[in-house]
Amino acid sequence: MNIDEYEWEPVPGLPEQLPDGERILWQGGPRWTSLARRGFHVQALAIYFGALLVWRALSSLWDGGSLTTAVIDALWLMPLAGAGLALLTLLAWLTSRTTIYTVTNRRLVMRFGIALPMTVNLPFRIVESAALRIFADGSGDVPIVLNTQDRIAYLQMWPHVRPWRLRHPQPMLRALPDPQRAADVLAHALHAFCSTTPARQTGSAAAAPGMDSASRPLVPAVS
């Protein structure tokens, strides 16, 4: 596994030309609306600000203020709420625009970063397993479990990492508009890699530890 910064891409999503024998099987990125809702929690924050406005108005009325005073007291929070929601929405959109996930027949490449673009190369030899989770809006996540010898930095990878897996961070293809397609391609690529790498043909078919009930394993362990 390696992490690189770059300024120029010979191939979109890749920091360099692919070596002989390696080919791109799939490329994609996050859906910004889904990323805003689940990654940047814009919807939850909007509900919070709404509740705060209502609480402020009710407090003003409880203290003996008129309805007009209560509305004015509540509305002064609107610019702050609007600015915060707009900023997070913009960040979600920019993150989506600057992110490309690439699956080749040998590795997974994650290119992301707004101000400082970087790529993370995850060779299939360090991938233990993966899972698929599809949400109500049709988008989905594909978390990747790495072997214990290879670690990633949670903060460096965010939001392209599974939430709250701080001890053993899991890189994740996040908020994909067509997650089933990405999962199928990755599963087939990993199975093909296992079948052509004799040293890794003894992996078990168990799901990765820590997968919640809403995620289902899509590939076996390969170590």
Of the given ranges (47-56, 105-114, 168-177), which has the lowest mean pLDDT? 47-56
Q: Which of 73, 45, 49, 47 is nearest to 59 (CA)?
A: 73
For residue 39, CA distances in Å to 12, 120, 208 come to 24, 19, 22
Residue 208: φ, ψ to 5° = -65, 145
pLDDT in tens, 177-194: 999 999 999 999 999 988
Q: What is the DSSP string of 62-73?
A: HTT--HHHHHHH
Say how many Å lie between the first and final Cα of the chain, rounded.
15
Whether this model's pTM surpasses 0.75: yes
pLDDT in tens, 59-85: 878 877 777 777 777 777 888 889 999
Of the given ranges (44-48, 80-84, 213-217), which has the lowest mean pLDDT? 213-217
Cβ(88)–Cβ(45) under 8 Å?
yes
Q: Which residue has the higher pLDDT, 88 or 15?
A: 88
